[in-house]
Structure 1
Amino acid sequence: MKNYDAIVIGGGPAGLAAAYNLKSGGKSVAVFENDLWGGTCPNRGCDPKKMLLSGVEARDRIAQLQGKGYSDIPFMNWRDIEQFKETYTSKIPSGSKGGLDSAGIDTFHGDAKFISENEIQFDNETFHADNFVIAAGQHPSILNIDGSENLLTSNEFLSLKQMPKSITFIGAGYIAFELANIANATGAEVHLVHHNDRPLKAFDSEFVDDMVSQMKSRGIKFHFNVNTKQVVKNDDGYTLVGDDFKLNTDLIICATGRVPSVEGLDLDAAGIEYSAKGIQVNENLQTTNKNIYAIGDVIAKSEPKLTPVAGFEAKYATDYLLGKTKEPISYPAVPTLVYGSPKLAKVGVSVPEAEAAPDKYKIVSSNLTGWFTYYRLNEPVAKSKIIFDKNQQMVGATVLTEQADELINLLTIAIDKKISNAEYTKMIMGYPTVASDLQYLI
């Protein structure tokens, strides 16, 4: 039997952050990973996706300036940009494991499972630890339908060596919208199929409708209220079958969400309670077994399952384990983004929440399309909805613009630090930028 002070299950951003913090706190640490070292985000998620989206952003800029300095709108060369993406992702697994090795953290690759409240089994060997941190993340879900074996996921999409002439996405969440925009920029015929008529349901419906309209103008075809029943492989591709609906396509990507990666861990053996939404934790990120913590996307929580949130939880959980804090975890405002064309982002109190409580909140809507920051880029649509409480303090924001990723971060800082308009106008920002516009929004 091997003994450690702490064992981390999962070698992604959350697990790595936890392992390094525990090691620096003087603990003997081991990390177990059953897939790619580095986890989903840098290998098959946020980072490679954002590299591919850089090509979409470049094409959009040219398209917006057509007739205003540019005439032709080039399609994104998939092979070239996919190879560019590989120059980054190919180094992640070895670099992630190498960092752990250099820090003196033991690493093990393969499946591990709990056999008691403080032991796991790996490769027919038993490992004991005083504490565990589960950071196993999530993986793509697959529809339970006839022909599901014909479906690919975002994992495979991001590593396609050739973009098909036509491609279909099942789902209407973050992943489906983002990948659809990437495929569209290559010149592929893109379809998006969803079981109801309300995509991106966590966001303001008006802005979502605007986003869908812009994507339609780029040639993306939406098929709402289609309940996919079957996927049939044929000689020249696949047929997606629904109620009174058929669609022939070269490739189908299932983007219907992600599920916690708890299968195979045998959490019951460790006395850990969990559900389909993930592992249950308390305000200190402890599971029902107080010596075992869970962090990141594997836990059941209302906070967004995002990489920076996982890192925040890793820091908190390990600080708590090391005795550096005894306070319950307190999350700051967390911005969420849909990297579409345009981008859609929100932070803090949402528009639906504010609309449901008009006695508590005021919504200030602005059409920013004519503002110089957006006019100079000839953006087709730029909008914001800023939410204030009774004290005129900004508590939430939703924005739709190609520059939403920059704008939402500034709004997040203003919300977290409770910066008032009077305070902001005492500062001078670079002009003309989204930062210099902020004084007119908060």
Structure 2
Amino acid sequence: MKSFDLIIIGSGPGGMAAAYDLVAKGKKVAVVEADLWGGTCPNRGCDPKKVLYGAVEAKDNVEQLNHHGFEKAPKINWAELMAFKDTFTEPVPVEQQQGLISAGIHTISGKAVFKDKHTITVENQDYQAKQFILATGQRSAILEIPGKEHFRTSTDFLSMKELPETIVFVGGGYISLELANIANSCGSDVHLLHHNEQPLKGFDEELTNDLIENLQKRGIHFHFNESAESISKQGAQYSVRLTGKETLLVDRVFCATGRIPNVEGMNLEAIGVDFTSKGVKVNDHLQTTVDNIYALGDCLEKHRPKLTPVSSFEGSYLAKLLSETTQEAIQYPEIPTIIFSSPKLAQVGLTKTRDLASGKYKQQTLDLSKWFTYKHLNESLVKAKIVIEKETGMLVGATVLGNEADQLINLFTVMINQSLPSDKINQMIMLYPTVSSDLSYLY
């Protein structure tokens, strides 16, 4: 039986970060993967989505300059775009596994099942380790309705060779909004169903409404206070019956109503690892209810955003903890989040109404569409909400809606995490005219 210092179950960005750091510290490490090496993000998540979104971004920029240097916007060729996307995703599993092997990390393919707290079985082979890290990620949740077998998921969307003429997305979260925007921009007639009146829960309501209004103008049909009641096959199409009794006849139906942790079938309950439908329970050292088993990433039950860089951060933390270079509890910085839509919506820090109700903060909303940074590209919808702590004058939160929201929020994230006061920003000379050169006017 092969034995290791640590076995990591899952080869996504979090598991990879832990594996590379641990082997560099002299640990004997193995990684187990039941699916594609590299995990969701590079294979069927963030990376392929961003390749598709890149074409949408380029098209949007040209459309903004229609009659200001361009006479017509380009049409996105879906087949060519998907072929381009495949050049990024197809090599990933082999490259990711080979990278581990080259670093001296043992790789094991198959599903891990615990025999006891120091032993797992993979494909009828037992492996032992002093410690384990669970990094198994999540998968798409599917609504339990009649005809649920007709649902497709984000994984299916990101591998479509042909673009359907008509699509329904069920769900009002960031995955649904992002994919709906891509499909609409590429030529599909898109409907989006959401069970209440406010999509993108957790984002600023005012700027979310501005985004939804803009997406409606682009042609996306939003059905609020609605969901899919049933789906039935009708020839080559699908009939989607809504809770309000309307029926939509479409070519594809995608379910994007959330994601669920991959924790079943590992025998965790038998060895005492506590978990819920929201994920594995851990303490502030990412330790589970079994002392030698830790967990990270999207399979956790946590309030922090389940994002790729967060998983990597947790992986690096566990490598330090388990190599005994730190005993401190994990300390998260302020974490930015973003919707890659048209335009982008991003935020960081204190942004929710309940956080601002204490009276300790002041909030300012700015329309940036007349600022040169955005006006020279004829960008008409650009807004920023800035939250300042009254006593110190420090920036503590921000939300930005606009094509350059990712750049601006990253700068705000640095300022918040480094506690940079406005006078420090004013002492810096930035390239002009850029998003960075606007900082001194924003804060």
Q: Please state which band the TM-score falls in when normalised by the shorter chain.
A: over 0.9
Q: Which residue number corresponds to residue 372 of structure 1? A: 372
Q: Residue deviations 1:143-175, cap 9 Å, x none?
A: 111111100000010010000111111111110
Given that residues 111 and 122 in structure 1 are in contact (C-alpha distance below 8 angstroms), is that contact kept between their aligned partners in structure 2? yes
Q: Which residue number corresponds to residue 133 of structure 1? A: 133
Q: Trace 1:406-421 onto structure 2 (pairs within 5 A).
A: 406-421=407-422
Q: Which residue number corresponds to residue 284 of structure 1? A: 285
Given that residues 259 and 276 in structure 1 are in contact (C-alpha distance below 8 angstroms), is that contact kept between their aligned partners in structure 2? yes
Q: Which residue number corresponds to residue 350 of structure 1? A: 351
| Percent of aligned pairs sharing the same letter | 48
Q: Which residue number corresponds to residue 72 of structure 2? A: 72
Cα distance in 1 for partners of 2:206, 2:356 equals 13
Cα distance in 2 for partners of 1:406, 1:115 equals 47
Q: How far off is 1:270 after superposition?
A: 2.5
**Aligned AA for 2:44?**
R
Q: Which residue number corresponds to residue 111 of structure 2? A: 111
Cα distance in 2 for partners of 1:154, 1:102 equals 32
Q: Which residue number corresponds to residue 213 of structure 2? A: 213
Given that residues 61 and 377 in structure 2 are in contact (C-alpha distance below 8 angstroms), is that contact kept between their aligned partners in structure 1? yes
Q: Which residue number corresponds to residue 432 of structure 2? A: 431
Q: Which residue number corresponds to residue 341 of structure 1? A: 342
Cα distance in 1 for partners of 2:231, 2:2 equals 48
Given that residues 350 and 356 in structure 2 are in contact (C-alpha distance below 8 angstroms), is that contact kept between their aligned partners in structure 1? no
**Aligned AA for 1:131?**
Q
Q: Residue deviations 1:262-317, cap 9 Å, x none?
A: 11111112211011111011111111112111011111111100000000000001
Q: Residue deviations 1:323-345, cap 9 Å, x none?
A: 00011100011000000000000
- TM score, norm. by length of structure 2: 0.98
Q: How far off is 1:2 after superposition?
A: 2.0
Q: Which residue number corresponds to residue 303 of structure 1? A: 304
Q: How far off is 1:351 after superposition?
A: 3.4
Q: How far off is 1:104 after superposition?
A: 1.5
The answer to whether 1:199 aligns with 2:180 is: no
**Aligned AA for 1:29?**
V
Given that residues 195 and 228 in structure 1 are in contact (C-alpha distance below 8 angstroms), is that contact kept between their aligned partners in structure 2? no
The answer to whether 1:270 aligns with 2:275 is: no
- TM score, norm. by length of structure 1: 0.98
Could you say what secondary structure the match of 1:229 adopts?
strand
Q: How far off is 1:355 after superposition?
A: 3.7
Could you say what secondary structure the match of 1:199 adopts?
coil
Cα distance in 2 for partners of 1:140, 1:227 equals 17
Q: Which residue number corresponds to residue 385 of structure 2? A: 385
Q: How far off is 1:356 after superposition?
A: 2.9
Q: Which residue number corresponds to residue 83 of structure 1? A: 83
**Aligned AA for 1:68?**
H
Given that residues 118 and 270 in structure 1 are in contact (C-alpha distance below 8 angstroms), is that contact kept between their aligned partners in structure 2? no
Q: Trace 1:162-177 onto structure 2 (pairs within 5 A).
A: 162-177=162-177
Could you say what secondary structure the match of 2:325 adopts?
coil
Q: How far off is 1:122 after superposition?
A: 1.2
Could you say what secondary structure the match of 2:338 adopts?
strand
Q: How far off is 1:74 after superposition?
A: 2.1
Q: How far off is 1:425 after superposition?
A: 0.7
Q: Which residue number corresponds to residue 180 of structure 2? A: 180
Cα distance in 2 for partners of 1:62, 1:322 equals 51
Could you say what secondary structure the match of 2:439 adopts?
helix
Unaligned runs of 5+ in 1: none
Q: Which residue number corresponds to residue 60 of structure 1? A: 60
Unaligned runs of 5+ in 2: none
Could you say what secondary structure the match of 1:293 adopts?
strand
